[in-house]
Amino acid sequence: MSRYFLEVAYKGTRYAGFQKQQNAQTIQSEIEKAMHVFFRESIALTGSSRTDAGVHAYQNYFHFDFLALSPEAIRKNVYRINAILPTDIVIKNIKPVGDMSHSRFDAISRQYNYFIHNEKNPFSQEYSYFYPYRRDIDVLNQLAGRIQMEDSFESFCKKNTQVHTYKCYILESRWSLSENGLMYQVKANRFLRGMVKGLVGTMLRLSAKPAPELRLKEIFDNKNSQAADFSVPSHGLFLRRVEYPQTVFSTE
């Protein structure tokens, strides 16, 4: 048996999330179903990064074990499995990796983008949050910089999440102007459940208040998620990239 990384992209609108769930339509369940139809056997997928209901991804990964495939067979299989999948999920590539490679544990970073548009736009409503209030991008970036200084995100993790640690190391955190409004970009070694939405919602709220950096520090120090704001919708959030050491894709 050989191990492969399956690179995917998807529009998350219709799905209950990335990872397979009982009695729910997810990205994993749809891909496993399509692969079962194509290969005529069940293939178990292991995911790299969970995304919640309604969240989109330009890039995410699974890994799976299967018989050795030639590069030409892989190319044909990608085309044929995509023909079975719904139009809002696409397999971008199947990459052979070492037998011990793991799509979750070998990832060194994940990058998310959150999009906001300030003027009503029917073409943005499924991929960007309509937020008709103006915010000072300099203030937002002060808050984003403060986030990059922290490493414990208990206040930005939704309740009833079973994790061993709230430690996350933020590699990048910044706001920029986009064509229709604003975009927040954050990159870290790992993320907690609801964390990016909590950061975005909290920064938007605090940026309109006096002493926003001090208020943000208090939220971090309190270690209480009730002080954060998770109310921004999922459809503005994209998993942009999952990064691995280059050695993962070397099978020599």
The number of residues making up the chain comes to 252
* Interstrand relation of 181-188 and 170-177 (parallel, antiparallel or unpaired): antiparallel
What amino acid positions are annotated as catalytic residues? 52
As a three-state string, the secondary structure of the chain is CEEEEEEEEECCCCCCECCCCCCCCCHHHHHHHHHHHHHCCCCCCEECCCCECCCEEEEEEEEEEECCCCHHHHHHHHHHHHHHCCCCEEEEEEEEECCCCCCCCCCCEEEEEEEEECCCCCCCCCCCEECCCCCCHHHHHHHHHHHHCCCECHHHCCCCCCCCCCECCEEEEEEEECCCEEEEEEEECCCCCCHHHHHHHHHHHHCCCCCHHHHHHHHHHHCCHHHCCCCCCHHHEEEEEEECCHHHHCCC
First to last CA, the chain: 16
